[in-house]
Amino acid sequence: MIIGSVSENQKIEKRISITPEIAKKYISIGFEVHLSKNYGIHLGISDEEFKNLGVKFFDDENEVINRSNIIVQLGLLPEDKCSLIKENKTLIGVLNPFDNKEKLDKLKHNKINLFSLELLPRITRAQSMDILSSQANLAGYKAVIESFAYFEKAIPMMMTAAGTIPAAKILVVGAGVAGLQAIATAKRMGGIVFATDVRMASKEQVESLGGKFLTVEGAENLETEGGYAKEASDEFKKKQEELLSETLKKIDIVICTALIPGKKAPVIIKEDMINNMQAGSVIYDLAAIQGGNTAFTKADEIIEKNGVKIMGETNILNKLPVSASSLYAKNMFNFVENLFDKENKKLNVNLEDEIIEKTLIK
């Protein structure tokens, strides 16, 4: 049984799906590992490092795709590469079925097994495979670091003979995995942290990290059974706007993380709110790739409105590719191991297993 991976388009994706540590694990459970030449070179991982573990390399990416029973990637391969995947082979990655429906339908028609890891159920057994959590954790941390780099004042309170510099006030919008890591990072660096979320279960988590949870009066708990945020009612949105509008007047840095799976990001910070913020404030929008949580967000651009800098990137994890690859590769291995029948050295697509059933694109 061969598991393979080819290089991503590094202009948009620097992460890799198989690290040397994980290649060793695949080999230990009975896989052959095939990779394309210079697979991890951009991360400082030489082909020799992989070869010493027993990994085979090919100059031609197409050969890796042709030979592999399972292909593991970050995203969906380009169309010319997808066309090389043979019947009964398996492709695993973040396949984004909402945007790639047509391409995935074509692959399904060709009898290719497709597993999209962002569809994993939020259950205890799936935690070790949860790519959304592992990657969001790093994204929340990096968003804080990036926003602090653009903020032209000190973050912690500093008492000096010349006077006192007050601590920066940080607001985190959305207290999921990315938001909670943003709160923890901002707090560690000496900021005064506030947070808001439509899920009332977040209050305790925010407060345990030293943040102050902003509660909308008469708040409803907007959480799906799967643990994700769902869309708020118009009445809730109005109350949330009023609370945010007042809060933002005193805030220095905002980290936006609010996303609804498969939908455009909700616009939470409106134009009039930004106009009332202090000049010199910074907003980092982690929802930029899905349209953004502010009225002005543009992915990969820094927009300045009324002295407020608003920024967000298509892929912030390209700034932490080594750490992000390490976690993603571990998540991927745990998923493949659950799918693999070690005794018979073949895949076992057991649809009674909730993890397999939910991630298989039907």
Q: Is 127 in the active site?
A: yes
Q: Has 133 been annotated as catalytic?
A: yes
Q: Which of 122, 188, 278, 353 does the annotation list as catalytic?
A: 122
**For this structure, is 199 an active site residue?**
no
Which ranges of the chain does DSSP label H, i.e. alpha helix? 20-28, 47-51, 61-67, 79-82, 101-109, 131-150, 177-188, 202-208, 234-248, 271-275, 321-339, 354-359
The answer to whether residue 245 is catalytic is no
Contacts of 243-248 spanning 24+ positions with Cβ under 8 A: 243/196, 243/214, 243/216, 244/173, 244/196, 244/214, 244/268, 244/269, 244/273, 245/272, 245/273, 245/276, 247/171, 247/194, 247/196, 247/214, 248/171, 248/273, 248/274, 248/276, 248/277
Exposed / middle / buried, residue 145 (Cβ in 10 Å: 0-12, 13-18, 19+): middle
Q: Which of 47, 188, 228, 353 is catalytic?
A: 228
Active-site residue (options: 36, 73, 116, 133)? 133
Those residues with Cβ within 8 angstroms of residue 158's Cβ, 6 or more apart along the chain or in another chain: 164, 165
Considering the candidates 46, 127, 208, 233, report the single residue annotated as catalytic.
Answer: 127
Catalytic-role residue among 26, 36, 39, 130: 130
Task: Enumerate the active-site residues.
Answer: 122, 127, 130, 133, 228
